[in-house]
Structure 1
Amino acid sequence: MWEAGRYAGRRRRLVRRVLTSVPGGGADENDSRLWHVTLSVSGKPVPLGEVRRALEQLAHDHPFLLTSRYADDHAEIRYWEEARDLHDAAAVALRLWGEHRSTAKLPPWEIVGLEVIDRATYHQRVAEGYGPPPAHPVGVHPY
């Protein structure tokens, strides 16, 4: 499973830049942890081809995205975020859709759900069979 892998340096620089913009931010990279993020968005229906193209562009621009599922009126994005704490991981996640709406030509949907859990909780849930299933296959897929 991908968990920081080859994009770790890029993610650390991004997280460090974001954290220094948050009051009280600027965590030492050694203090950062991995958080599993699930971001849910929805809104008025958009042609499926446009949704897929937009999510693929977002994944291309930000290769830390693990997987996306979509329909014509909603989508779910799952990925690992490296951050000092849950607050920082959630802040980055809540900005993701809005900040990249124009560059990736994302639908004008709103965020309707956010789950941020630490790595241990994610793996515990999966092992017990009640958590989000492992994100396979990686990529952008219809529901």
Structure 2
Amino acid sequence: MRPGTTTSRGGAGSRAADGERALTSVAAGDRFQSGESRDLPRLWHVTLSVSGGRAPIAEVRRALEQLAHDHPFLLTSRYAEDHAEIRYWEEARDLHDAAAVALRLWGEHRQTAGLPPWEIVGLEVIDRATYHQRIAAGYGPAPATPMGVHPF
């Protein structure tokens, strides 16, 4: 190595010496207003899509209703015999934390809510400002109304 050069052993998921993330996600970015702390929780809109083998539609509905009862933060669920979509707001420090919670939701509550053994096939996590910009511009899914559990 030439004098004055340095190397980095970390990759995209590496952590700095002080324990902080060495890199931030593109989605989280540096869009903080002056004076806003990165450690304060923010609201993130989550859309979790799951899919798998066919299950009795009444059981799918009952399981999603149980999940909504156990976790009233769920805004809406849509379902069919072989797939479902759950939309809700998550309060988290950053996109990484909100996505981590969302990716655990289905598996951690499969037994307690009686959810079908489906896999997660899609995840979208966007900040509150982006969600409202999309709605105002007529893009993206319609606002999550009516709230509750509904067939597709």
Give me the TM-score of the superposition, normalised by structure 1. 0.80
For the pair 1:123 / 2:132, whether they are aligned, the reply is yes
| Aligned Cα root-mean-square deviation (Å) | 1.8
Corresponding residue for residue 60 of structure 1: 69
Higher normalized helix content (fraction of residues): 1
Runs of 4+ with deviation above 2 angstroms: none
Aligned pairs for 1:11-26 (under 5 A) are: none
Corresponding residue for residue 11 of structure 1: none
Q: What runs of 5+ residues in structure 1 fail to find an aligned partner?
A: 1-22
The 1-side partners of 2:140 and 2:131 are apart by: 7
The 2-side partners of 1:119 and 1:69 are apart by: 21
Corresponding residue for residue 16 of structure 1: none
From 26, 50, 75, the counterpart of 2:59: 50
Corresponding residue for residue 94 of structure 1: 103
In structure 2, what residue type is equivalent to 1:127? Answer: A
Aligned pairs for 1:59-78 (under 5 A) are: 59-78=68-87
The 1-side partners of 2:136 and 2:125 are apart by: 18
Q: What runs of 5+ residues in structure 2 fail to find an aligned partner?
A: 1-18, 21-36
Give me the TM-score of the superposition, normalised by structure 2. 0.75
Q: How many pairs does the alignment contain?
A: 119
Corresponding residue for residue 41 of structure 2: 32
CA apart distance, 1:95: 0.1
Superimposed CA distance per residue, residues 120-141 of structure 1 (whole angstroms, 9 cap, x where no aligned partner): 0000000000121101100000
The 1-side partners of 2:131 and 2:50 are apart by: 21
